[in-house]
Structure 1
Amino acid sequence: MGGIHAEETISITDTASGKSIDVIIKKVESGVVSLETAAGANFDLPTSRLTPDSIERIKAYLASAPSNSEQAAPRMEGQSGLNEAVGHELFGSGGSIWRETAGQVAQRLSLRVESEKVNSSSYRLYTKPDYQFLGAHPYCVTLYGGENAKPESFSLVFANKGDFGSRLGSGEDHFKIMHPDKVPPGNLNEAIDFDAEMISMSLSAVLGIPREQYYGEKEDKRKVKRWDIGDHAFLLSSKEDEYTSLLIVPTPNADAEGKIDFVVDSDFKKIQIQNVRREDNGDVWIDNIPMVDQGPKGYCAPATFERAMRYMLVPADMYLLATAATAPGGGTNTTKLSEDCKRIVRSKARRIRDLELHEDFDIKTVKDFIDTGVPVLWQMRSLGKYNDVANQRTKERETVEDFTAWASEIAEEAAEVEPQLKADANYHICMVIGYNEATNEVAVSDSWGPRYELRWVHLDIAKAVTSRGGFVIDF
């Protein structure tokens, strides 16, 4: 993927030497930053060698510096009419979405920042009942970004098994708001057909008759209707009893039916290890795991699997994962979800392994995975007392200087709190993404947005709320 070539320099600092240097950022790809010094020397540097402040400056630069091709991009024929049909300014004055930054597109469409990592980003909107897109109501709109802060795809999920008839998702109410002259669908499949018809009519009125093709690989393969405008492909798919969805992707991706380049195991293991951070206090944790906000539906399991799959370069969408394993109105069957995800992951030459964390959960168990850059998916009970301790101790931890004393203090607290963590309630799945052997702590990441990306709890407290087992996605 081409880099961003501009003469603006930014300051970066090497974590190993502590030295800072002003450089021009050429590109960021697979955890490696390509740089040019003021003297014209070019070199590559793993992101793991850079301080957090340096990484944030690189992100800000990539998000704000358009390339020359973006500035000169022509408007596409029909884009004004399509914007009108969409009901939003999907296409800006520059024409192609793919020539903008993901942040610019998200801001124009009022999508909220969900995750911004070095090589990935996402912007998501859980919509209100009167929100419409191409004449239908999407419950969730997500923009995914990739390397160099560029957009990669849009995913919109319309009528679906988890939302239809659910008070949390506003159920059938949006039909009455958007189409007061029409009879509302009486069941899920009528809603799926209704949304698919509205989207198809809206796109065909501007772009003509669609063609049909397949999209996705193996277990994820499905028949879609396709409309093109410029270098954008609109892919509409419906599945009986499940959902209607719309993907917007670059035309080369649609031409390839969604197939992605495979990264060989040896190369990918190097990328993963570069994401492992080691702190002076003994903390070891994994950076650059995409965040997903599970939203109002409580899709903790689908959101956590999406995070892990995208981190392992397996495309995934929380909403589409959820529909296959969700009862009407909500409630995810984690066992069925994991089996569905296993089939998808196998198609990308990866695997999901089951872990018996309810029987064997210790620092060594998670260390073996964390040290290689592999997060652990953990099934647990997210009890109120557990969260109180996790929130308070994570905040206090920021100012700790004596971690030997800290280890004794939290061990005593864990012994006192453990008997209070017996309630058989609040079943949840999240990630263990780090550990500290000296303090006997694990780092936990929940799919509730950036505030919950990294929290620390004593191992004994984590063991006390473990419900069943866990999973890892590896090779």
Structure 2
Amino acid sequence: MTNVPIRALDALASENIWQITTDQFQQHFEKIGLQWLSEKRDQARFFGPGLSLWQGQLKVTEAIVNFSSEGQPNRISLSIFNRGDSDSEFVNREKFEALVESHRTKIGQILAVSSTERGKDKTSAVAAEGYVWVKPPTAYLLEYSFQREVKSRDLPFRPEFIRLLMAPVPKTGTTPGGGAVAAKASSVTKDSLATNLKREENGDVVIANVPMVDQGPKGYCAVATAERVFKYYGIPVDQHEMAQVADSSSDGGTSPAKMYEALNKLEGRLRVRVRVIENWDYKTFMDMVGDYNKEAKRADKREVSAAPRGGTIYIDEIYGAMDGEVLKTSRIGRDRSGFGKFQRSITGLVDQGIPVMWGVMLGLLPEPEIPQASGGHMRLIIGYNLKTNEFLYTDSWGAEHALKRMPIANAYTMTTGIYYMEPMK
């Protein structure tokens, strides 16, 4: 058995954590895998084996540290268990509740402070439950969530997450379960979003200030993309909450239909509107396959079959058998109006400061090195350049994927869906 090096996060619980600078934070933590999620250094991430707090007493899968505009930590989230990164196969309700209780007891013993049961947070995306400790200068919230068993709908019990949230004790005396870290409806107005737009001399028009998220190795691209949009609107909803609502899986990702349904469920609570510009549709897909085969025949390339097997159409396989250049010619050449609408819709949203949730099929056309080589994926379009005929986009894989560009024709070719959210007011 390979020994995993201990990566101690103990300094996150020190009394001066809320006063240190980003430079001091960098100096202290760079040796244990500190990852900045943006060039602004407003979020730091630790991920992987060996992470722990309080001299190894609390094992951690992931830690996210948020920094204020003044450059000091103001919120820390420690993932103790989550369905995407943890082994949840054998965790039934009894074991999950025992796991929560053991951590509640352990944290209480470490802090030597009694906890207060917060109950369900009905302002969050999933109405998570939690326990609160206040030991100045820090307030702690142990928060957890699970999918209840519903026998009438054939839904089994499913554990979702356990996390420890930390924040400085507010001067008002509220706790992390109150104003410090709880999810809330957007306070951003639609009219204010355009102030995030930057227009560069080279023709780039790009939305600044879209937070980065690193989904890690799991198939959480859709829910990680949603998290970034929510945070851009000032709503602290994370990918693990969205994974519960959207029924995401670590290896299978999120179906577009369930993602759209999940976002619609949250419209009223979080005060956002969800809109579809383009969605997967059986007839449209089959028409695209027909157009592709006509162009493939003309170009002396192999045609593809979209015939179902056992009543199922395997979309990834069909796309995987296509030649990307042939598909590009067939899509644009046979649907010029659709291509024009695609470009106008996205540039119009970017001009309003609204990022576009962009469903794509990877592997059709060459891209710079990315963690996922093929298959369905979701990313954000955050800009455009009409001088170079490019869209500017970002993937939820960390700072090095914050801003990339692609010819608009290539973007249209690989598109499988386009969605956006906007504040209600």
TM-score normalised by length of structure 2? 0.68
Aligned to 2:75: 153
1:10 maps to: none
Q: 1:262: Cα distance to partner?
A: 5.8
Instruction: Give distance in 1, aligned partners of 2:203 and 2:9.
Output: 52
1:159, distance to aligned residue in structure 2 (A): 2.5
User: Residue 123 of structure 1: SS of its match in structure 2?
Assistant: strand
Match of 1:98 in 2: 18
Find 1:468's aligned residue among 403, 409, 417.
417
Would you say 1:205 and 2:114 are equivalent positions? no
Deviation (angstroms), 1:106: 6.0
Provide closer, same or farther for how the CA distance between residues 246 and 107 of structure 1 changes in structure 2, counting only shifts above 3 A.
farther
Matched, 1:193 2:114: no
Q: 1 CA distance for matches of 2:25 and 2:184?
A: 23
The match for 1:245 among 163, 171, 186 is: 163
Residues 18-417 of structure 1: matches in 2 within 5 Å?
Answer: 88-92=10-14, 95-101=15-21, 104-105=24-25, 108-109=28-29, 110=32, 112-116=34-38, 121-128=42-49, 130-133=50-53, 135-165=57-87, 186-189=90-93, 192-206=96-110, 207-214=112-119, 215=121, 217=123, 219-240=125-146, 241=158, 242-252=160-170, 253-254=175-176, 256-257=178-179, 258=182, 263=187, 265=189, 269-270=191-192, 272-326=193-247, 330-334=251-255, 335-344=257-266, 346-356=268-278, 362-383=342-363, 385-388=365-368
Identify if the C-alpha distance between structure 1 residues 195 and 138 changes in structure 2 by more than 3 Å, giving closer, same or farther.
farther
What residue identity is the alignment partner of 1:204?
G
Which ranges of structure 2 fall in alignment gaps of 5 or more residues?
1-7, 147-157, 281-337
Measure how far apart 1:433 and its partner are.
0.9
Aligned residues: 332
- Greater alpha carbon shift after TM alignment, 218-227 vs 356-365: 356-365
Match of 1:455 in 2: 404
- Paired residue secondary structure (1:353): strand
Contact kept? 1:374, 1:472, Cα under 8 Å: yes
Give the Cα separation in 1 of the matches to 2:51 and 2:382: 36
How far the C-alpha of 1:111 sits from its partner, in A, is: 5.7
Structure 1 residue 446, shift from structure 2 partner: 1.0
Q: Which amino acid aligns with 1:351?
A: R
CA offsets 1:38-95 (integer angstroms, 9 cap, x no match):
xxxxxxxxxxxxxxxxxxxxxxxxxxxxxxxxxxxxxxxxxxxxxxxx9722234xx2
> Partners in 1 of 2:345 and 2:143 — Cα distance?
41
- The Cα shift of 1:311 comes to 0.8
User: Given the superposition, is the C-alpha separation of residues 194 and 158 from structure 1 closer, same or farther in structure 2, using an over 3 Å criterion?
Assistant: farther
Structure 1: 5+ residue stretches without partners? 1-85, 166-170, 173-185, 392-423
Q: Which amino acid aligns with 1:356?
A: E
Residues of 1 paired with 2:347 and 2:9: CA distance? Answer: 49
Instruction: Provide the C-alpha distance between the structure 1 equivalents of 2:259 and 2:108, rounded to a whole number of angstroms.
Output: 35
Whether the aligned pair in 1 keeps the contact of 2:61 and 2:81 (CA below 8 Å) is yes
Query: Residues 194, 101 of structure 1: CA spacing in aligned structure 2 closer, same or farther, 3 A cutoff?
Result: farther
- Contact map agreement 2:36 2:45 (CA 8 A) in 1: yes
Q: Distance in 1 between matches of 2:401 and 2:357?
A: 15
Counterpart of 2:347 in 1: which secondary structure? helix
SS in 1 for 2:354: coil
- Normalising by the residue count of structure 1, what TM-score does the alignment of the two structures yield? 0.62
Instruction: Pick closer, same or farther for the CA change 1:342–1:141 going to 2, 3 Å.
Output: farther
Identify which of structures 1 and 2 has the higher relative contact order when contacts are C-alpha pairs closer than 8 Å and 6+ apart. 2
Change (3 A) 1:349 1:320: closer
Provide the C-alpha distance between the structure 2 equivalents of 1:114 and 1:338, rounded to a whole number of angstroms.
30
* C-alpha displacement of 1:461: 0.8
1:323 and 1:161 mapped to 2: Cα distance? Answer: 9
Cα distance, 1:288 vs structure 2? 1.6
- SS at 1:362 equivalent: helix
Q: Percent identity?
A: 25
Which string of whole-angstrom CA distances, capped at 9 and with x for unpartnered residues, describes residues 441-471 of structure 1? Answer: 2111111222222222111111111123333
Quick one: which of 428, 436, 457 aligns to 2:385? 436
Asked whether the equivalents of residues 360 and 376 of structure 2 are also in contact (C-alpha less than 8 Å), the reply is yes
**8 Å contact 1:220–1:344 — kept in the other structure?**
no
**Quick one: distance in 2 between partners of 1:259 and 1:428?**
26
Alpha-carbon distance, 1:368 to partner: 1.0
**2:101 aligned counterpart, secondary structure:** helix
Structure 2 Cα separation of the partners of residues 132 and 243 of structure 1? 17
Q: CA deviation at 1:264?
A: 5.6
Q: Is contact 1:124–1:140 with CA below 8 Å preserved after alignment?
A: yes
Are the counterparts in 1 of residues 185 and 270 from structure 2 also a CA contact under 8 Å? no
